[in-house]
Amino acid sequence: MISRNEIKLIRSLDRKKFRDEVGLIVVEGEKSVEEALQSGLEVIKVFRISEIGEEAMSRITFLSSPSPALALVRKPAEPDAFHIEELIASRPLSLALDSLRDPGNMGTIIRLADWFGIGTIFASHDTVDCFNPKVVQASMGSIFRTQIIYCDLLQIASEFHTAGMPVFGTFPEGKSIYEENLTPNGLIVMGSESHGISPALEEVVTHRLSIPGFSHSSANAPDSLNVAIATAIICSEFRRR
């Protein structure tokens, strides 16, 4: 059974304030719950529709229809400054998300990072919380294998540059990604859905990239790509080299 207090707790976890206060997140879906159970994180409790019934599950789900399983999971600890220093010293290829607001895009990008073997995503403080239930669901379990660090992106980009690694950014007028010299390490900055990369962060970008369009109708061609789709194309090209 599920108690009234448990329902109230779970429903409150759609807000970051309460997720931070109690240190818990909601994970929905059979695959994602299984990933949580295998992640090494503390799984507080698993609710299954076969045990509590569809009506009770419909009261706690954040999806359009009740999921077969939902879990309460303890949030992982945030990395400290020393950990971040060691990470940059290892010369990784990492993503940076500048002011992304859409939970679906965020979750999809986490899944893409996992697919392309990019272990760390740096995110600006105003980027949507990665533990938002919609983000967790869209990541399909990849959030348990990908490190998301909320930080001052300007400082992180500067540290990558100081360590001798390039900082890539996407711009409409940038050099075609198919012609640019891409490296196995560095920072790839993806801008917000509405405004792109912020002016201050743009100043520390060392390589400006673009994804050229090949539409046969220039008059009716789309003016931009969804940020998650653009991230997929860029990550694929980096890994192809």
- Return the pLDDT at 194: 85
- Return the pLDDT at 208: 97
Fold exhibited by the domain 4-74: 60s Ribosomal Protein L30; Chain: A; (3.30.1330)
| Residue spans in the chain of domains classed CATH 3.40.1280.10 | 81-240
Sequence-distant (≥ 6) Cβ neighbours of residue 128 within 8 angstroms: 100, 101, 102, 103, 106, 135
pTM of the model: 0.94
Q: Measured on CA atoms in the order 73, 31, 94, 16, is the torsion positive or negative?
A: negative
pLDDT, mean of residues 38-66: 95
Sequence-distant (≥ 6) Cβ neighbours of residue 3 within 8 angstroms: none
* 92, 119 Cβ separation under 8 angstroms: yes
pLDDT, mean of residues 202-223: 82
- Return the pLDDT at 214: 84
Q: Is the pLDDT of residue 187 over 90?
A: yes
**Rounded mean pLDDT of the chain?**
95
| Residue spans in the chain of domains classed CATH 3.30.1330.30 | 4-74
Q: Which residue in the block uniquely carries the two structure tokens 């959030």?
A: 143
pLDDT, mean of residues 8-18: 97
Sequence-distant (≥ 6) Cβ neighbours of residue 182 within 8 angstroms: 168, 237, 238, 241
Calculate helix-pair angle for 227-240, 103-115, nearest 10 degrees.
10
- Domain 81-240 CATH (choose: 3.50.50.60, 1.10.3720.10, 3.20.20.140, 3.40.1280.10): 3.40.1280.10
Name the band, by pLDDT with cuts 50, 70 and 90, for residue 119: very high
Name the band, by pLDDT with cuts 50, 70 and 90, for residue 220: low
Q: Is the pLDDT of residue 54 over 90?
A: yes
Strand partners of residue 73: 25, 43
Q: For the chain, what is the radius of gyration of the CA atoms?
A: 19
